Amino acid sequence: MSSSPPTRRLRLGLPRRVFSQVLLMQLAIAAGVAVLATGLFLAPLSDQLDDQAMRRALSIAQTTAAQPQIARDMTASVPTPGGPVQDVAERIRRASGAEYIVIMNTDGVRWSHTDPRQIGQVVSTDPSVPLSGDEIMEIDNGTLGRSARGKVPLRDAHGTIIGAVSVGIEYDSVRARLIHTIPSLLAYAGGAMAVGALAAYLISRRVQRQTRDLAFSDISALLAEREAMLHGIREGVVALDRNGRIRLLNDEASRLLNLGTSAVGRSLDAALGPGRTTDVLAGRVTGTDLVTVRGLRVLIANRMPTDDGGAVATLRDRTELEQLGRELDSTRGLIDALRAQDHEHANRMHTLLGLLELEMYQEAVEFVGEVAGAHRVTAEQITEKIHDPLLAALLVGKATVAAERGVSLAVSPDSYLPDLLVDPRGLVTIVGNLVDNALDASSGSPDARVVVELRAEGRTAVLRVRDSGPGVPLEQRETIFLEGWTTKKVPARGKRGIGLALVRRLAEREGGGAEVGESPDGGAEFTVRLPEALTGEELANQLTNTEEAR
């Protein structure tokens, strides 16, 4: 058995293309406006034509009633089809183009009419208004059909009302004039529709180009997908218009930049404030994978211009990766310190073995005492002045690394820091970054030397790190604290130029600051002040006891 193909149901409706839908809607609007305008024009025009017809009828009636011969003939004759009143009325009717002119006496008896058989009979409408001395104009139905009428009183030479004059203009003539105007109105309406259709076509073509000829359903689906994608990805997205105002901010960007939804519509400078992050997002700093610091977050930013003059910037959070890198650097530093100690210990053991083999026992004893004493003295000097165990351990390890690199690392005699730090880890980060930079700067210079000074001034912790390196030129003493600025070779694993920026941000977070100047040794001297870095409990007593002990 052969099966017949399924029949397709014909479905009528709007086309799917935006171009066609917009064109049809605009044509419908243009046609509706044209019809509405024509109707609004015709409605008052009909009323105006009616009013003109009634006033014309009233004017003819007034002119007829003003003829003194009619009043004299009515008092001197009787109403007959060939009478003088009928002759005058017909002459005026033909001259004015009126439909009829009816002259009546005070009893409503006709003295003139277009139908001679009606002369001598009573009028079919109420003549009381003109017989009472008032004039009237109206559109009414009479024996001759629907007409525009004007009625006035008829007076004799003494002003006494002896009858009335009723003039009618055929209403169909008024309608004919109205209909006669319709073709011209339709011509104007058609011209307006043609202009509207052309404008609708041009607008639809522009909409077609801007929407890439997508259907409304496709555009709606794309918007829904875009919203889901933007707020679902773990990368910050900031869209800017051509004036630099924020027009889109997804959830991740709001979190990374610490901004709320109220930032949408505001400029970057107003929302973020001045700084490198603002400069990077605004395009004032160019490049790819630009490093910036926002608060305590290390961000990687990229910016792509759009066709409308705006831009879209993406942000990646590199804070955790940077922390892992710092921890790796610390681990490497510890390994380097252990390796340096192992290397130094091996050399000392070989020296000791040689002394013993040479049976130089006294010299061996003195050598062991000297080595042990020197290491103990270095550790004791640091722990005597730096009571915080994290900072002391950091400086002891850095001293070993410095010795291997041929740099003398010393703690200033003016140093004293009690074990009352509010955030010791933050100070460890600051000290580690500054000491590492000082070692890099001093390494290879004559009489390489790094001096660290840590002391408490009330509740303020003051840190100074001096080196014997080349120093920092005056014009670069602010730019070195910017994210991404470095004089070192960029490593393969990531970016440089973050350490000093983090140092300043950490200091500013505590209400302090970081600056650089020239050290007495000719190199650079970094100074960091951290107000409220030490707890107030027992601080004054410890400082007093320390001064007395000195």
> What's the pLDDT score for residue 215?
59
> What's the pLDDT score for residue 270?
86
* pLDDT above 50 for 3: no
Q: Does any domain span residue 134?
A: yes
> What's the pLDDT score for residue 326?
57
- Taking residues 456-481, what's their average pLDDT? 86
* pLDDT above 50 for 491: no
* pLDDT above 80 for 420: yes
Residue 79 shares a structural domain with residue 170: yes
Residue 537 shares a structural domain with residue 397: yes
Residue 421 shares a structural domain with residue 272: no
- Burial class of residue 6, CB neighbours in 10 A (0-12, 13-18, 19+): exposed
Residue 243 shares a structural domain with residue 171: no
Domain boundary among 317, 336, 353: 317
Question: What is the Cα–Cα distance from 460 to 453, expressed in whole angstroms?
Answer: 14
User: Whole-prediction pTM value?
Assistant: 0.43
Residue 394 shares a structural domain with residue 273: no
Q: Does any domain span residue 345?
A: no
Q: Extract the tokens encoding 520.
A: 């007495």
Which CATH number is 136's domain given? 3.30.450.20
Q: Does any domain span residue 483?
A: yes
Residue 300: CB partners within 8 Å, gap ≥ 6?
289, 290, 291, 315, 316, 318, 495
460-467 and 311-317 beta bridge pairing: unpaired
Residue 162 shares a structural domain with residue 255: no
Residue 35 shares a structural domain with residue 171: yes
Q: Does any domain span residue 325?
A: no
Residue 305 shares a structural domain with residue 414: no
- Residue that wins the pLDDT comparison between 488 and 125: 125
Tens digits of per-residue pLDDT, 162-178? 999 999 887 665 555 56
Give the range of the structural domain holding residue 113, as residue numbers without chain letter: 21-177
Which CATH number is 495's domain given? 3.30.565.10
- Residue that wins the pLDDT comparison between 7 and 348: 348
Considering its fold, how many domains does the chain have in total?
3
Q: Does any domain span residue 334?
A: no
In this structure, the number of other CB atoms found within 10 A of the CB of residue 517 comes to 14
Tens digits of per-residue pLDDT, 493-528? 444 456 787 788 778 777 788 899 888 878 889 999
Tens digits of per-residue pLDDT, 43-89? 676 677 778 888 888 999 999 998 888 888 888 888 888 889 989 99
Q: Does any domain span residue 412?
A: yes
- Residue that wins the pLDDT comparison between 134 and 357: 134
> What's the pLDDT score for residue 527?
92
Tens digits of per-residue pLDDT, 225-254? 666 666 667 788 888 988 888 888 888 888
- Taking residues 332-359, what's their average pLDDT? 67
**Contact yes or no for 113/102 (Cβ under 8 A):** yes
Domain boundary among 317, 340, 370: 317
- Residue that wins the pLDDT comparison between 171 and 544: 171
Residue 419 shares a structural domain with residue 302: no
Q: Look at phi and psi of residue 538 and say left if phi exceeds 0, alpha if psi is from -120 to 50, else beta.
A: left
Tens digits of per-residue pLDDT, 188-223? 767 777 777 777 777 767 776 666 666 566 666 666
Residue 27 shares a structural domain with residue 152: yes
Question: What is the Cα–Cα distance from 299 to 257, expressed in whole angstroms?
Answer: 9
Q: Does any domain span residue 106?
A: yes
In whole numbers, what is the pLDDT of the chain averaged over residues?
Answer: 77
Residue 50 shares a structural domain with residue 132: yes
Domain boundary among 259, 291, 317: 317
> What's the pLDDT score for residue 371?
60
Q: Extract the tokens encoding 396.
A: 């002891």
> What's the pLDDT score for residue 1?
44
Tens digits of per-residue pLDDT, 126-144? 888 888 989 998 877 665 5
Token look-up 């073709």 returns 183
The runs of H, that is alpha helices, within 66-141 are: 68-76, 84-96, 128-131
**Contact yes or no for 352/371 (Cβ under 8 A):** no
Residue 389 pLDDT level (bands cut at 50, 70, 90): confident
Residue 279 shares a structural domain with residue 396: no
Q: Does any domain span residue 73?
A: yes
> What's the pLDDT score for residue 493?
44
> What's the pLDDT score for residue 230?
67
